[in-house]
Amino acid sequence: MAYTVVNSSYNFFKSLTYEGTGSTQSISGINFKPDFVWVKDRDNARSHELYDSVRGATKRIQSDNDGDESTQANNLTAFQSNGFQVGTGAGTNASSQTFSAWSWNCDAAASATYTVKVVSDSGNKYRFNDFGTSAVTLDLEEGGTYTFDASDSSVSSHPFVLGTSANSNEYSTGVTYKLDGVTKTYSQYTSGFSAASSRQLIITVAASAPTLYYWCSVHSGMGGQVNTNATRGSSNFGGTIQSTAVFATAPGISVVTYTGTGSAGTVGHGLGVAPDLVLFKKRDGGSDAGWLVYHNSLGNATGGRLDVDTGNPLSGSDLFNSTSPTANNFSIGTNTRCNDNGSTYVAYCFASIKGFSHIGLYQGTAITDNGPYVYTGFKPAFVILKNFPDTENWRLFDIPTNPGYNKNGYYVRPNQNNAETTNESSTRVDFMANGFKVRGSFSGVNGDNDNHIYWAFAQNPFVGGGIPATAL
């Protein structure tokens, strides 16, 4: 189990309920601008709706079906500093209906350093972070600050610059040039480039910045395009497949998008620790666009399917290339749920973090009122669990901000659009000070000698010094 100690009391997760109005409203009280929001109508049979800041606020995917990503102009319409905005769409704001929203935060503004080299690739080309492909298109987030370190000797005769068109027209907004740590003008930078031992170009991407290009001020044809994104996410070269990612190392959360190649490879996630859980969703592809789940307790040759209740998980090297995630990347095989050539994907990555999250497995006993106690190190606000040997629904238990609502036997099913279910006697799960206690005997939560995977997030994440809130 991967653990990182967190020195922060800042919120990275929030569970809350709100009432739909049928009119545009802001859902506040989250205390951060979320990067991932999961919404469910508790009162009606409506699909779970999932949104993230990398794909963009209006881009919807649903956990209970394998449908493609769709644009919903009136559902979740914006991520805001203290929550999010919903429009008139019934899926997020039907009048007089109760909704749950679970929100995660990747926190800080984008910041990245890219090492620049020049390689021979049908002529000289720039390459970043020793990534295997040259002259790639970069994705940089508006408001993010990026350092291009061109100190490598291969770059000494190729001044690395930015422009508004390929091979011309210097771009200066938010750009700083440095030689040997000293700030220079564009002309000083390009004229003194080869003599310096330390060479950097630093850019803070302005709002509404145009599409840019990186190029050599001396030689044409070496560079590529720079997309300046209004959405979140920056180019990541931590794997063999380029990705766009937003991540926070403290809570162990990242949102990653990438394009499949059809060949086994790795995808950078940015966490700095190996994720214990990865949820994959193909964004385009029709009937084979279902959800794939990597869970540390299932191993690297077995995957769950979030959108169905099957007791037979997917298996084989074509899922994760029989390779566990690392601190830099996760592996994908050739399965269409994670790596269809030319298809786009989103992956939600989570690492177990002390005082914030816990991802693992417990064994059922089928004993009423005295089932397994699962230690998490915090009082949960959100738990998803699944009996994997049996054909059983996924179950999501939560305690929102308003105390007493939806605890114990109240749950929704991530693989179904059903309204909230209450059957406290057989499916009861109690949230305790340092974990959760399985009280019900139903096989979906407590099958006799069955393995149940879970992931949990804290009700009051973190206190100063990285101590779990419940430890005080």
Q: How far apart are CA 34 and CA 97, in angstroms?
A: 23
Taking residue 300's Cβ as centre, other Cβ atoms within 10 Å add up to 18
When pLDDT is averaged across residues 7-28 and rounded to a whole number, the result is 86
Query: Are residues 275 and 330 in contact, defined by beta-carbon separation less than 8 angstroms?
Result: yes
Residue 408 confidence (pLDDT): 66
Which secondary-structure segment (H or E) carries 190? helix 186-191
Residue in 126, 143, 144 with CA at minimum distance from that of residue 135: 126
Ramachandran angles phi, psi of 93, nearest 5°: -155, 35
- Is the pLDDT at 101 greater than 90? The verdict is yes
Residue 141 confidence (pLDDT): 96
Domains and CATH numbers, the chain: 13-104 (no CATH), 111-229 (2.60.40)
Q: How far apart are CA 306 and CA 331, in angstroms?
A: 19
Residue 273 DSSP SS3: coil
Query: Are residues 52 and 37 in contact, defined by beta-carbon separation less than 8 angstroms?
Result: yes
Residues 6+ apart with CB under 8 A from 403: none
Minimum mean pLDDT range among 184-188, 248-252, 413-417: 248-252
Q: How far apart are CA 166 and CA 219, in angstroms?
A: 11
Quick one: tokens of 260?
Answer: 């499949």
Provide the pLDDT confidence category of residue 460 given band limits of 50, 70 and 90: confident
Give the rounded percent of residues in the chain with a pLDDT score beyond 90: 86
Residue in 394, 430, 425, 399 with CA at minimum distance from that of residue 412: 394
Give pLDDT tens digits for 42-69. Answer: 999 999 999 999 999 999 999 999 999 9
Give pLDDT tens digits for 304-342. Answer: 999 999 988 999 999 999 999 999 999 999 999 999 999
Taking residue 460's Cβ as centre, other Cβ atoms within 10 Å add up to 14
Provide the pLDDT confidence category of residue 143 given band limits of 50, 70 and 90: very high
The mean predicted confidence, pLDDT, of the chain is 92
Query: Are residues 54 and 63 in contact, defined by beta-carbon separation less than 8 angstroms?
Result: no
Kindly state the DSSP code that residue 90 receives in the 8-state scheme: H
Provide the pLDDT confidence category of residue 10 given band limits of 50, 70 and 90: low
pTM to 2 decimal places = 0.94
Q: How far apart are CA 92 and CA 129, in angstroms?
A: 41
- Is the pLDDT at 290 greater than 80? The verdict is yes
Quick one: tokens of 107?
Answer: 């926190």
Query: Are residues 99 and 41 in contact, defined by beta-carbon separation less than 8 angstroms?
Result: yes
Provide the pLDDT confidence category of residue 7 given band limits of 50, 70 and 90: very low
Query: Are residues 201 and 214 in contact, defined by beta-carbon separation less than 8 angstroms?
Result: no
